[in-house]
Amino acid sequence: MRRILFPLLLLCTISAVDARVLAVFNQNNYEGWVYDRPGFYMDTEAISKNKIGLYGSCTLTSPQLNCAGVDTVIVVVNESYSLYYQNDKYDARKGSPTVSLIDEGGNVVKSVEHVFSTAQLQRVFTVKIDISDVSPTMLKLRLSCPQADTYCALYMRDFVVEGAESTPPVAGDVNGDGELTSADVTSLYNWLLNGDHSAIVNGDVNGDSSITSNDVTAVYNFMLN
């Protein structure tokens, strides 16, 4: 009988991650978004013609986002532009966007800068912000390029804000596929009888810091209950 004592990397439990859409911004979806630029009106035409520029004090702020249960906020930018990237005055570093999360009191609780290193016209990128240690659940997202002038501005056209939720592992899920099935029993048997640990993710089902036939029994119990 094989008894494997902790810690072993291959026995660590892996959590599944689910994402849900928190907000969308594009030429057809901009209600509730605020573009902070004096005297400027944001509409479908302005967005489609690349006039929502981030530079200096010009920022783009989302409606309130319900981040309850969210561990990571993900901004997936599908379409944005550095229109003056070929101008001698363009500076990719200055034109790099900052993504901030703001609580209901207007305080910045998390902020991440996504740094551009090259000059190019179209920008497609993703920014992730870990909020697992943030207590407020109602947040707004703000995009800005505080160091940029009009030559370095980043013009926003299409992006999605998602919230990733870490879900607890399924009890008895030995092979880490997110389900409890007979395949988990087979994985344990292969380990115990043949030493095949290729499909083992969480073999210590009963939590006694070893893998034995007791863990097979524990999987069966989970399946029956």
Contacts of 222 (CB under 8 A, 6+ apart): 171, 172, 180, 205
Are residues 96 and 115 in contact, defined by beta-carbon separation less than 8 angstroms? Answer: yes
Average pLDDT in the chain: 87
| 90 pLDDT more than 90 | yes
Please write the tens of the pLDDT for every residue from 142-170.
Answer: 999 999 999 999 999 999 999 998 666 67
| 64 pLDDT more than 80 | yes
Q: Please give the distance of CA 181 from its chain centroid, rounded to a whole number.
A: 29
The arrangement of secondary structure in 169-224, i.e. its CATH architecture, is Orthogonal Bundle (1.10)
What percentage of the chain has pLDDT greater than the value 70?
Answer: 88
Name the pTM for this structure.
Answer: 0.70
| 91 pLDDT more than 90 | yes
Taking the CA atoms of the chain, what radius of gyration do you get in angstroms?
24
Please write the tens of the pLDDT for every residue from 100-126.
Answer: 999 999 999 999 999 999 999 999 999
Per-domain boundaries in the chain = 16-167, 169-224
| 11 pLDDT more than 60 | no
| Burial of 179 per CB tally in 10 Å (0-12, 13-18, 19+) | exposed
Fold of 16-167: Jelly Rolls (2.60.120)
